[in-house]
Structure 1
């Protein structure tokens, strides 16, 4: 199977990790058309309403800088082939491949659930992160506006927030974000993987153009919103040569700091990424995977706390050294973008307090 235009994955197998029947295709009518003469229609995007019981997820991972997160959507239309969240679709007996990009779930009750959870007497204030699993500003946010609704609740409650995205759609909420930034309640991490539009078109096919993301950094910074540029993931042999260029551009645009993470390939992401390499970069596929395995202790993926975000070995050390040098040259000081937690005021029923 080859990739469809505008999609990242080249395969759509179900994983079978949860004792569910393994499928070589997703079983829908589009896959059945493969043996029929004539062009096959493009796969569309469907959105299923998910009625969640709660919206705040919690974690205790020692190498993650937040303990609370909100994910308004499952699946992500951006279609980034490297996305570490792809395996979560296997929980629904859906493929981490094309299903992850096309069969999405939305949680329209997110804002009301958030209001309810923030109202509980035992709630302890800690920054909430958005964009930790799938992008809160993927294309369907334009219609569903669930991220916007959650931001309205958090802004009214003066609740601290971290946002990670690779979309300039975040500018639609610049009014709320600039208001929160005045009280040091928000910081934004904007992900830029490559500045080469040809690379980005296959690596993250439905994410906004890299230059639009650079412009988003500029506008957010001008609005007083602290922005960190995330050069993530760094893909050796594909994007690593751009580290210095990206850091220089984001510094010029007004980013306050920069970070990076070497590519991670958990569970089903590894075979999907291999298939992507075979189609788009057959000349260097073996070399890329060899370097990744070197950075991951001889495996496709290293799930261990402490090393999974940094990598190990000669190649990981080289990338780290280049990044540190480029960051210093750009004037970044290693500043940690922090937010305040002392201004929180719980919501009062369906109508927020006026004073």
Structure 2
């Protein structure tokens, strides 16, 4: 695979330095001076590349690996082939991520469409906007009246920042993003096409049809949040929509008005969260799940993909299914339904009669 076009190899880092950077133990110090220049999957990593194996599922690829080094758990260290350096780490994937950030730093930085710094001549910046030194505004971007943007932040091409919006320092706003009625902290990454701060979906039925309910809240995004491409976050109706520090939101997520998400939570692609739901700290919500409005999901809870959460979820539990329920019960119900449909042998009545294909 041609990665050099977009992610050139590192000039070289010794395994001794890399192991210290990643908190890993280099089993054989004789490999300490070996240079690594990039990362690759275990199945095809070669000279100069580092990979990882975190479970026995990876054993077939590990035993025939030709990587320069592999991050492994202590249980897998004996399975690393001769000539491949074993780097023991409690969490091999985490160590690999740290290695990747050091060896291929461009891969973890948002894309800049131009290399120019400062404010593009083709950008439109209202005279009343306040931009600290070191802000970059790329071609075609629009900065509204009274907006404030902190030092080191990048507003990419064709992004639009609404009046009065505040964006902290060292943020990256991707191309085509729109932000309005929002207060954004430091070190926030917003990927292309995201829509933040538009009015929420609220109507009151009347004798002549639906009447729009005023949406006068804001979106508040704390430090170190990352928001995926084409995700939408509506501003609050009367209260605020809030995203807590360190939370990571995938592409194509819908977050409705007045939703509150705690710190360091993970929301995977195509999740929909209805208005006024409260998501705790450290919550993980699997892809394509639907979260009902006005409910609460407790700290540390995990919701399986394709789940429908209709009511409150306690802290620290694992739930799944539609409606979502404790994982053990969901799996038991799923197994029972499968048995009713296909029988214990996993065959339909037609299969049992010899008519299956």
- The TM-score range, normalised by the shorter chain, is under 0.3
TM-score (norm 1): 0.20
Structure-2-length-normalised TM-score: 0.20
Between Structure 1 and Structure 2, whose CA radius of gyration is higher? 2
Q: Which has the higher helix share?
A: 1
Q: Which has the higher strand share?
A: 2
